[in-house]
Amino acid sequence: MQAVTQNEILLLLVIASSLLCLVCLGFIFALSKKVQKQNNEHGKLLQHLKRENEQVAILRSEIAEVRASVLSIGKRLVACENYAKDLAQQQAAQKYDDPDAKIYSRAVKMVELGADIEEIMRECELPRAEAELLMSLHNKQ
C-alpha cells in the first residue's frame, strides 16, 4: 500500500470540511426561510387580531348605545303608563262627580232591571222623552 502523505490528508480534511460547511449553509438557508415564513404568518395573525379587536370595540360601543336607548325608552314607557293611569283615574272621578251622569246611570240600571217609563221618570226625575230614549236605546242593545 502506498503511504498517504500529510498533504493528501490535509486535502481530504479540507474537502470534508468544505462539504460539511456547504451542508450547514444549506440547513441555515432552509431554517432562515422557515423562520421568515413563520414571521410573515405571525405578522398576518397580528394584523387579523388587531382588526378583530377594533371590531370588538365597535360592537361594544354599539351595545352601549343600544342599552342607553332601551333604558331611555323604558323610562318613557313608565312615564306614559303613569300618565295613562292618571287619566283613567281622572275620567273615573269625573264620571262619578257629574250628578247628571249618576242620574242616567241609575236610569239605565232601572231599565236593565225592567222598570217601566213612569217609574224611571218618577225615581230619576227625567222628562218622558229622555226616559223613552233610554228605553229604546237599551232595547236595541
62 within some domain: no
HEC readout, 29-50: HHHHHHHHHHHHHHHHHHHHHH
113 within some domain: yes
Compute the average pLDDT of residues 29-34. 96
31 within some domain: no
90 within some domain: no
Question: 118 lies in which domain range?
Answer: 98-140
16 within some domain: no
- Indicate the number of domains in the chain: 1
Query: pLDDT of 61-84, one tens digit each?
Result: 999 999 999 999 999 999 999 999
Query: pLDDT of 90-137, one tens digit each?
Result: 887 776 666 666 777 888 888 888 888 888 888 888 888 888 888 888
Q: Which of 82, 104, 84, 102 is nearest to 94 (CA)?
A: 102
